[in-house]
Structure 1
Amino acid sequence: MDDDLIDDDGLSLSRKSRLPGAGFFYPDSLDEEYADRRAREAIEGAEAVVVADGDADGLGCAALVREMYDAALDIAPFEESLAARVAPEAGDGEDDENEDREESPVGLVTASPHSLTDALERVAKYADPGVDVYVCDLCPDDDTVVPIVEDLIDRAARVEWFDHHQWDDDVAAAVRAAGVDLVVGESDEECTVDVALRSLEYDFPEHLTALASVTRDHDLWIKEDPRSDDLADYAHWASAEEYVTVVGQYGPALPDPVVDFLDHRRVEKEQLIEAAVDRASMQSVGPWTVGVTYGRCSQNEVAEALREQGADAAVIVKPAGSASIRGSEGFERCHEVAGQVNGGGHPRAAGCKPDIYDDMLDYAHHWSSEGYATRQVILAAFERLTGEEAADGDE
């Protein structure tokens, strides 16, 4: 394939908003090979390993653990890279994780709920015996994770797991029975950085206490602190190592090079948000108004705009085939919708990827129809909730 066909810099905004990023077109085998190599580099020889979600909440936990182990990386190379990225001739890419840079004695492996078992298997395979392991902001989909956790317990000196998602009671009991110190906070009161902050036996400095508060403001949709959007955007656009290093040093008071970088990236971000909002439609499903749209965009801001237009819930279908579901005071069942279509999450924020893509022709239809099939599958899940409400009312 010609590289120019998937080069974001060569696409118009309209086309860019309808197509997935270049990484989508790389085979999973290459992604697996790269992920395995990066994980091995981070894990081998490490005193401790953090397996975390790659968003601001998961990475904030990694910053706490590195502070506790006095294992933060030197910030100067990251600040130099940031300055270079906002130069007039620079592109919008994130920091290059392939650069020669020191490794922290606290290794970091990012994962999603779907790749969690792979990440834990890599830790069990590559970690030195007696390693300390921390799993942060990740909730297993089912009990298939338990055998891997048992292998990890045999390898590690300790395994601590901090989260705030909706756990299945049986899965949580099995993970604890395997020997994990699992702490799950209330999903509508704490973010995972809060959980880690109160669970780790360490007197954290004020800037990291503030990091937990501002991360919570974003992760729980409180939206009272403008710095929380900065953290969320920065975690999305920067490499995991850069984000952990910078917030570990500064907390939520991000330095000028980061602020300049965010301003630089937000010009296009706002354009993509506007494109997604413009193509949205409102659907009546039972007692709820559901705003549905499609596009590569920042789902949280799009959802907020749709709520302002009267939506109780928002569905943002992405070109890669996944979807974000966001709720409001009028709809707090996002995790129930996502749970029906290969996903999960919180009452007011969830994600999913319906299992409806058999080949590239299905994806071609997905892009050309602006996610029609995915929209219909998710709206049907909303419809099923109305049937449950009616059945409950008849009892």
Structure 2
Amino acid sequence: MNHLYIITHTDLDGIGSAASILRILGRKRSRDATILYAEPYNIHEILESLLGYFESGDLLVVADLGLNEENKARVFELLESIVDKGVRVEWYDHHVWDPNDITKIMGLGVSIYIDRATCATGVVVRYATRSRGLEPDKFLIELEDVVCSADLWRWSNPLSPKLFRAAGSREERVEWRGKVIDKIVDGKLWDEELEAKLEEYMNQELRNIAKIIDTVYVSEFNNYRIAVALKDEGPPSNSIIGALLIERFKAHIAGIIRPNGGLSLRSRTVNVQKIALRLGGGGHMKAAGAKIKIPIIISILSRINPKILTWYTTRKIRGVLGVVKDINLEATSGY
């Protein structure tokens, strides 16, 4: 193997996935590995940016990223070109995939590992070792537990909420994410620097929650209560906002919309992955996302009154609820 390229998600699970593959392969970031961060809706852009750098014998690892309907055809085209260059491609994920897409991607020569019973970090820990005839070390097993506890909303590990906040914000600079990855590769899950980052994050989170609550628009449709909040840069995370909307507004569906149209959906009783698919996205049953197009007039007016954007977003969700079927979940159903 020559150079290692990793494309991963921006959250803690993406960070844990990247750190895991580096630790398994005995690689170090920057020196002999390049890490780039992506969302499902722009992964094709990241692949395009790397196309001219790949050489025969390189390894490309994609982790914690599913496919979007709007760009998956382009992703397939790019993967075919990359494999044709002699690059080995491995894809690790835990989101819901269309079986036809799995067949297609395998047919291109990509080694794909999907396991919805764990988080993406767990998929890497379990399958990147197994495919190489290795066993995960104790630290990797501990890392899987910490990350999955947060990413799957179990919160069973006491370190999870701390590391989730200190390391997993998508707004964090690339340099900080890289530093966290380096710590994990070196076998460190917590230290004074992470403790200081947690304190900084919590202070920002408390300041921003009040502003976010002021943007919430609540709507009811077909016996479903929808609560949508506008999130700009900074803490708290989408998962924390989603939990807040569900609890405070007794919402069946929580939506977190960004000014650029990035939409995250959370629920405990509704399969929001089906809603996200209709909007061109994907994800899990209880946590999914998509990117919606915001009319210019809505974008302008929402700068004056943020509730215009959250109102518009509830209308988009209501439109999907009018056509999707069988979206109710039992409270104890899987992620």
TM-score (norm 2): 0.84
2:157 aligned counterpart, secondary structure: coil
The equivalent residue for 1:348 is 286
**Structure 2 residue 168 is matched with structure 1 residue 235:** yes
Give distance in 2, aligned partners of 1:334 and 1:210. Answer: 30
Assess, with a 3 A threshold, how the Cα gap between structure 1 residues 108 and 271 changes in structure 2: closer, same or farther.
same
2:186 aligned counterpart, secondary structure: helix
CA shift for structure 1 position 301: 1.5
Q: Compute the RMSD of aligned alpha carbons.
A: 2.3
Question: How does 1:123-134 map onto structure 2 within 5 Å?
Answer: 123-134=50-61
The equivalent residue for 1:219 is 151
Assess, with a 3 A threshold, how the Cα gap between structure 1 residues 368 and 322 changes in structure 2: closer, same or farther.
farther
The range that moved more, 348-357 or 229-238, is: 229-238
Answer whether contact 1:46 1:127 (CA < 8 A) is retained. no
Answer whether contact 2:23 2:185 (CA < 8 A) is retained. yes
2:88 aligned counterpart, secondary structure: strand
Assess, with a 3 A threshold, how the Cα gap between structure 1 residues 276 and 226 changes in structure 2: closer, same or farther.
farther
The equivalent residue for 2:85 is 155
Give distance in 1, aligned partners of 2:28 and 2:326. Answer: 50
Question: Out of 222, 233, 237, which is 1:298 matched to?
Answer: 237
CA shift for structure 1 position 197: 0.8
Tell me the amino acid that sits aligned with residue 68 of structure 1. I
Give distance in 2, aligned partners of 1:231 and 1:337. Answer: 30
Deviation string 1:229-287 (CA, Å, 9 cap, x unpaired) is 33332132252312211222245x31111111220222121221233235434432223
The equivalent residue for 1:260 is 196
1:384 aligned counterpart, secondary structure: coil
**Structure 2 residue 174 is matched with structure 1 residue 247:** no
Give distance in 1, aligned partners of 2:114 and 2:245. Answer: 31
The equivalent residue for 1:144 is 74
Assess, with a 3 A threshold, how the Cα gap between structure 1 residues 155 and 230 changes in structure 2: closer, same or farther.
farther
The range that moved more, 275-284 or 120-129, is: 275-284
Tell me the amino acid that sits aligned with residue 121 of structure 2. V
1:125 aligned counterpart, secondary structure: coil
TM-score (norm 1): 0.72
Give distance in 2, aligned partners of 1:381 and 1:368. Answer: 27
Question: How does 1:62-141 map onto structure 2 within 5 Å?
Answer: 62-73=18-29, 103-141=30-68
The equivalent residue for 2:99 is 169
The equivalent residue for 1:60 is 16
**Structure 2 residue 246 is matched with structure 1 residue 285:** no
Q: Return the structure number with greater helix share.
A: 1
Question: Out of 195, 207, 213, which is 2:123 matched to?
Answer: 195
Tell me the amino acid that sits aligned with residue 255 of structure 1. D
Give distance in 2, aligned partners of 1:155 and 1:241. Answer: 28
Answer whether contact 1:121 1:152 (CA < 8 A) is retained. no
Deviation string 1:91-119 (CA, Å, 9 cap, x unpaired) is xxxxxxxxxxxx22022122211221222
Structure ID, larger Rg: 1
Question: Out of 235, 239, 247, which is 1:308 matched to?
Answer: 247
Answer whether contact 1:69 1:106 (CA < 8 A) is retained. no
Tell me the amino acid that sits aligned with residue 317 of structure 2. I
Tell me the amino acid that sits aligned with residue 124 of structure 2. A
Deviation string 1:123-149 (CA, Å, 9 cap, x unpaired) is 332022211121111122233322211
CA shift for structure 1 position 71: 2.1
Tell me the amino acid that sits aligned with residue 260 of structure 1. A
- Sequence identity (%): 22
Q: Return 5+ residue gaps in structure 1 as ranges.
A: 1-44, 74-102, 391-395
Assess, with a 3 A threshold, how the Cα gap between structure 1 residues 278 and 368 changes in structure 2: closer, same or farther.
closer
